[in-house]
Structure 1
């Protein structure tokens, strides 16, 4: 079986490990170099964890496959001030530090609970659904058009809170595949409810605030807007992500979505399957020449079912035989196959030039 997904001479998948941050951390630069070196040759396996104090997904995958995914997905959701003030607590930052120290790669999204104006009418518009457009009247367009507004200052407040968590990761020398404002073009999240321009402005504000004001240099910026009209520009994007929830047990490569994502930018950008329900079949990816850099299966019922107080792998989306095939396939990379990061980065001749 072929050990690579595309011809090495195909320049479409030869991405230079140059981050948009002018002076990225040693770890972020090294991770980007690794991702670029693997792009077009391997897909990193990945799994999002549930937003609970004891998420079961990673250990359950190990129980059934004997391997851990290369990438683990975390969420800053319960650090959102409008959730924290209602008693929510979160330990995803600590879990992410542990994951990196155990050899894995960290990606974070942020289901950003609206800073104010939560409708709070259960069951469909409860406060804990405050990242959805249906559960808040918060006006991102007003905030981004008026820096003197309460909305703008609350946006800054919330960004600063999450920057504080990212600083914990920075201090621990954890590089982060950072994927904020995801799926904006769908409109179901408040940051996309007013169209592309306010969302693009918010993306740029977040980048400037986190990079220049807070000095965060450990972030690799993964844009996941899912439509070209929402693209903020190459100078604000390191990697492009697509979220795809195909029908149950549809193991196709999703080549149409991959080729759509290629068109968001005229520059060469790594393209990842930043969320998925079903994991594409590696053989289908090889056949179609679709080199997703990594996948990140969503949590909960996409992975397990509960019965009699116990958790079992769920065959509903990706059947167990298919999962095992994927984790054992020569195209894919699990955590056990990742480099020892300190050694990899010390041996890399280009990291210091980034």
Structure 2
């Protein structure tokens, strides 16, 4: 082997060992919520110990179609079940018979009973419509070509902080209280939640896709508004509603939007890479960028993705995503390749790659999880 290659390999190995040692020494030993339940503490400790050694296999549920079981689709293709399923509170609060997506809590409780890990995100629909007869028209996008798919709701701000005298502030609390009732059901069932609210806040280049990251024209900072809302959400859920089953996962996509080490357990990033061309690269640059967004070291997760990074590439690059979360399917039956199908078919990940990932010794699937 050439000396140059050997030296490079040695330097990479030393860097990886030093980084792993620093992570082990400085990452918090407990969740940011000092009153976290014993089970939540145990799961956090497991996640902290896993980071840098293995990657947890995750799959987003198809929340708007209760008839499709994404965990079963993964099992059918790989012979293994994901260790982590991501659910969504998107359709809670809507009314009427036959609505899909309102059984996510029951599905999460059932998956946790099988020994699985549970994550929840929240496509938070326009809070101003929650208590009106237009609740089923509520949307969450801040922009887009179709007016029917966007909302004008804006985080109420005054003098750099939430405007607590605004009617919109009370509407925010209505939404928080709605989801708190569902998180309470999960806590009562003994389910710890990897809780990822207000996701993708900065969107791209600070232009948020959702109302909680909307670009503002009132002189207030969109980043400051996001931070203020995150910290209020934390305070209300933890201190007002007494929810201590939450591990707080932030993926605001921009360091300027980071709400603080005292209210974040895990940093994440969502990657929909249109240039990957099935190289299944580790996404090292984004991993490093995400890790650098926090003040103190936090575990780093790939909170949404299309392509699954190759576990061998993650190991060789030192890009140890704590978990990957493949987004859900959107069109057609199992096995159909379609741009809207992030798991089924071979639009993004070949069948051979899926099997390699799920059978890999460094990938944690449902059967490899401890009983918490």
Smaller-chain TM-score bracket: 0.7 to 0.9
2:191 is the counterpart of 1:160 = no
2:27 is the counterpart of 1:11 = no
Aligned residues: 324
Structure 1 residues 8 and 57, CA gap change in structure 2 (3 angstroms): farther
Native 8 Å contact 2:238 2:244 kept in 1: yes
Q: CA deviation at 1:250?
A: 3.8
Q: CA deviation at 1:275?
A: 0.5
TM value normalised by structure 1:
0.86
Native 8 Å contact 1:142 1:151 kept in 2: no
2:327 is the counterpart of 1:315 = no
Q: CA deviation at 1:298?
A: 0.1
* Structure of larger gyration radius: 2
Mind listing any 5+ residue stretches in structure 2 that lack a counterpart? Answer: 1-14, 131-135, 144-149, 217-221
Q: Distance in 2 between matches of 1:305 and 1:149?
A: 49
TM value normalised by structure 2:
0.82
Q: CA deviation at 1:271?
A: 0.4
Native 8 Å contact 1:183 1:224 kept in 2: yes
Native 8 Å contact 2:52 2:320 kept in 1: yes
4+ aligned runs moved over 6 Å, structure 1: none
Corresponding residue SS for 1:185: coil
Native 8 Å contact 2:20 2:52 kept in 1: no
Native 8 Å contact 1:249 1:316 kept in 2: no
Mind listing any 5+ residue stretches in structure 1 that lack a counterpart? Answer: 119-125, 342-354
Q: Select 1:91's aligned residue among 103, 109, 114.
A: 103
Native 8 Å contact 2:267 2:294 kept in 1: no
Corresponding residue SS for 2:80: coil
- For residues 80-119 of structure 1, the aligned pairs below 5 Å read 81=93, 83-84=94-95, 88=99, 90-116=102-128
Corresponding residue SS for 1:221: strand
Q: Which has the higher contact order (CA 8 A, sep 6+)?
A: 1
- More displaced 10-residue stretch of structure 1: 54-63 or 275-284: 54-63
Structure 1 residues 84 and 324, CA gap change in structure 2 (3 angstroms): same
Query: 1:241-294 CA deviation, whole Å, 9 max, x = no partner?
Result: 111111252401000001001111231100000111110011111111111000
Q: Select 1:22's aligned residue among 19, 34, 41.
A: 34
Q: Where does residue 136 of structure 1 map in the other structure?
A: 151
